[in-house]
Amino acid sequence: MTDLEEWSTNANQALTISFIQAGQTSVQTLSTFQPRFTYPIFGEEERIFGYQGLKINLRFAAHDLLPNIQISYDKRFKPVGDTKATDLLEKLKEWTPQISFQKATAFDSSIQNDSSAPKFQPPGELVQSYTSQGRQFEIWRGELTEIAVQRLIERIQILISLFIEGGTPLPLDDQDWSLARWTVFFVYEKLSNFPSPNTSPYSLVGYSTSYRFIIYHAFPPAQESAEDKAAIHDFELSSLKPVSPASLPARARISQFLILPSHQGHSHGTHLFNAMTSTFLNSSSCVEITVEDPNEAFDDLRDYCDYSRLLANGTLNQISLNNNIPSNLTSKRIGVKVPTSQLLDRSLLEALRKKNKLAPRQFDRLVEMHLLSKLPIHTRQSGTARITQRGRSTNENDRAWYYWRLLVKQRIYKKNRDVLAQLDRIERIEKVEEQVGELAGDYERLLRAIERRESRNGEPVGDNNNNEERKERGKRKVVLEDEEEDGTPEPKKLKDNN
Cα separation, 39 vs 164, in Å, equals 11
Query: Could you give the angle at which helices 296-312 and 268-281 cross, rounded to 10 degrees?
Result: 60
Cα dihedral 169→173→174→177 (10° resolution): 120
Q: Decide if 190 contacts 136 (C-beta within 8 A).
A: yes
Determine the Cα–Cα distance for residues 472 and 479; give it in Å rounded to an integer: 18
Distance between first and last Cα of the chain: 53
Phi, psi (deg, nearest 5) at residue 251: -90, 135
> How distant, in Å, are the alpha carbons of 21, 55, 204, 245, 294 from that of 290?
36, 40, 25, 18, 10
* Ramachandran category for residue 353: left, alpha or beta (phi over 0 → left; psi -120 to 50 → alpha): alpha
Partners of 55 in the β-ladder: 72
- Beta strand 67-72 with 28-33 is unpaired
The residues carrying an active-site annotation are 292
